[in-house]
Structure 1
């Protein structure tokens, strides 16, 4: 069994014991922290997602632009954008950073935070929606030809991405939680 060392890249200084300070997005801070993770030998760094935080995909793109080997675990909450669009976004990021992207799927979470982004469905339905979402994402990543999908939450006709990850069979997906 292999062990992966995963750090965390925020967009501004702060922690549980030191209040966040300064602008919410500090590009030089992201650069410094990303390079520190890479220099320390971390395998990956998590880029978090919250309903009020900077876009994790764009933060990962910036961090990737200032590193060469550090991999990124980009947090993503299914259901807020189309799974075909998300699949292309992550595949595009993965091509640009040379196959250093993984996606951390966040299905659970605080109901109040979920409502802030427009989700008003319960936990069981969120997990069902995420299951269908990930099925479409994987198909978008791996299909060599257009496909149709008629599901409970998503319907597509002729879905197909020309953008393919350098990672095969597809970008790694992480799924964890305690809900």
Structure 2
């Protein structure tokens, strides 16, 4: 997967202090983002199933079940890569640091290829170009939803989220430097 390999060249902020990983928070946020990605995919599938059952929508753009499957394929390809832009930093995806050129080029290249596969029907049922545009609008809207959700999760989760109170007290008693430590937190 080319976009995943180019993450190594992405622009990031390198902390000056040692980094301390907060695994509970990291796993909670990653799990929730994964759950939201599943909701996103099934949401498009439900829209597609509803589309093929409504005559008014079919009169606008006729779709078959195979074409709905192609739309879901496009969403899965695009959704995974667009999620990279959402989760690559703790801040908003609309603020610096912006993605590096290799990452951006890899994502754009794979997305153009996916759009061409779906538009021309290479190995899949071809989609009308209007449906490809609608799938992309759906994906871009979900990017904003996912970014907003990520920011809300970070805002509401402390570094010690999920730790039992006795463990937090233990850490403070045994490691007083932890109370005033300026170590940088990752995720």
TM-score by length of 1: 0.31
TM-score by length of 2: 0.30
Which one scores higher on RCO, CA 8 angstroms, separation ≥ 6?
Answer: 2
Choose 1 or 2 for highest CA Rg: 2
**Comparing both structures, which one devotes a greater share of its residues to strand?**
1
**Comparing both structures, which one devotes a greater share of its residues to helix?**
2
